[in-house]
Amino acid sequence: MAIAVALRKLGVGAGHEVLLPAYHCGAMVEPVVALGAAPIFYRIKQTTEVDLVDVAARLSPSTKAMIVTHYFGFPQPISLIRSFSSANNIGLLEDCAHMFFGRVAGHPPGTHGDFAIASAMKFFPVYDGGYLLSTKHSVRDVPIRSAGVLFDFKALTSSLEHAARHRRLWPLNYPLLLALKAKDWLWALSKQARPSITIRPLGPSSSDGGYSFDSRWIDVGMSRTSRGILRFADSARIVRKRRENYELALQYLRDVPGLTPLFSTLPADVVPHVFPILLDTPNESLPALKSAGIPLLHFAEYLWPGVDERACPISIDYSRRLVQLPCHQDLSRKDLEWILTTTIEIVGQSHSKNAERHSGGNS
C-alpha cells in the first residue's frame, strides 16, 4: 500500500515505467501494475547491489521512478544511487522492508530516497501495518482512515494467538489456546449450518502471508492493537539480539561444506532481518531442510513472469539457491543452535551425496 501511495505521489500512472530489481517479491511489483505502469527489471550484482550500468541501459522517456531494496538489512550504495536518480530526473523509492534499524551512508534508513517504505510485521510482533516516510516531500496529505473495531479485534486475537502458540503469555497460554479452539469450533459449526456463508476477510492479505495488492486497504491505517504493541517494543533489545544472533550464525556457518553465507561480515551499522545463505545443491538440501522443520524464508522464490536469465542471471541463481535463516530477537540460544547444527548436518549430507554422485558419474 505504501509503495503504491509513494509511486502515485511521484506521478506514476498509466503508460509510465518503473525500474525494479530483477530480484524481488510480488509485493514490490503488484502496486506498480495496479497503477497501470510497466515494471522494468534491472540487474543486481553478486553482492545484491544495484547494477547502475544496467539501470542506465533501461532508462526510457517513460521512466518515472526506481525502487531499490536494502536486502536483508544490508545497505545499498545509496549516495551513488541518489546521484543517479537525480541526474536522470526520476523518483527514488527506498524499500526498507528488511531494514528497520541501522544506518545507510551515515543516516537513518530511508532518508535518501524521495520516499521510503518499511514493514512493521518484519521486525515487531504485530499483525498489520506499514510505513511510508519522506524527508523530501510531505506525507501529511495522504488520507488515512481507521478500519474500525473489528479490524482492531482481529489484530488482537491474531497477536494473542501467536503469542500463546509460542508460549509467551504464561500463565495464560493454555486458557487462551483453549478459547481459540472453541472459537474455531464454533466457526466450523456455523459453516456447517450455512455452507454458503462467505465473509470478507477482516485483514489485508499481506497480514496473512499474501502479497496481492488490494486497493480497498490503500487508505487504511495500522490497527490500534498493533500501534499499542509498537509502543511497548524494546528497539534497543531488538537491535542487540538480532546482531548477536547473526554473529553466532556466522561463527557456526563460516566454513561449512555445501553452503556459503551471503555476507561474511556484519558491519557495525547493520541490523539484519535474516541470515542469508547460498546453497550449493538446493534441489537436495532445500526439501530436506524444510522437512526437518528449519524455519527458512525464501525471498524471491517466485519471480514476476518474464524475468529470466537474460534479464538477470544472478537473480535467477539467487531465486533458486539463496535462502534465509532466522536471526529473530526472540529466538532462544538453544533453538538457534539447533537450527544451525541441523542445517550444517543436512546441508553436509546433501553435499557429500552430490559429490559422490558426481565422482561416480566420472568414473
CB of 318 to ligand PLP, least distance (A): 13
CB of 86 to ligand PLP, least distance (A): 23
**Nearest to ligand PLP of 29, 331 (CB atom):** 29
Instruction: Find the residue with minimal CB distance to ligand PLP.
Output: 119
Residue 175 preceded by cis peptide, ω within 30: no
**Smallest separation (angstroms) from ligand PLP to the CB of 151:** 16
Minimum distance, C-beta of residue 333 to ligand PLP, in the bound complex (Å): 27
Q: Which is nearer to ligand PLP, 130 or 282 (CB)?
A: 130
**Cα 112 to Cα 274: distance, rounded to the nearest angstrom:** 23
Q: Which helix (H) or strand (E) holds 117?
A: strand 115-119
Q: Which is nearer to ligand PLP, 2 or 347 (CB)?
A: 2
Q: Please report how close the Cβ of residue 204 comes to ligand PLP at its closest, in angstroms.
A: 8
Q: Give whole-number Cα distances, 148 to 145, 155, 222, in Å.
A: 9, 11, 10
User: Can you tell me the distance from the alpha carbon of 301 to that of 132, in angstroms, rounded to the nearest whole number?
Assistant: 26
Smaller CB distance to ligand PLP: residue 159 or 350? 159
- Nearest approach in angstroms of CB 284 to ligand PLP is 26
CB of 95 to ligand PLP, least distance (A): 5
Q: Report the distance separating Cα 8 and Cα 35, nearest Å.
A: 8
Q: Check: CB of residue 66 under 8 Å from CB of residue 7.
A: no
Supply angle C-alpha 327, 332, 335, rounded to 5: 80
Beta carbons within 8 Å of 104's beta carbon, 6+ residues apart? 70, 75, 76, 78, 110, 111, 112, 269
Of 119 and 343, CB closest to ligand PLP: 119
Least distance (Å) between residue 196 CB and ligand PLP: 32
Pairing status of strand 274-279 against strand 259-261: antiparallel
Residues near ligand PLP, by CB under 6 A: 25, 27-28, 69, 95, 97-98, 119, 121, 130, 206
The DSSP result for 135-197, as a single string, is SSS--TTS--B---HHHHHHHHHHHHHHHHHTT-STTSHHHHHHHHHHHHHHHHHHHHH-TT-
Q: How far is the CB of 281 from ligand PLP (least distance, A)?
A: 26
d(Cα 152, Cα 227) in Å, to the nearest integer?
A: 10
Nearest CB to ligand PLP, comparing residues 41 and 252 = 41
Grid cell of 332 as nine digits:
532462544
Nearest in space to 175 (alpha carbons), one of 163, 187, 193: 163
Q: In the chain, how many H helices and how many E strands? A: 11, 9
* In contact, 173 and 164? CB cutoff 8 Å: yes
User: For residue 247, which of 265, 269, 274 has the smallest C-alpha distance?
Assistant: 265
* Residue number, 45 or 357, with CB nearest to ligand PLP: 45
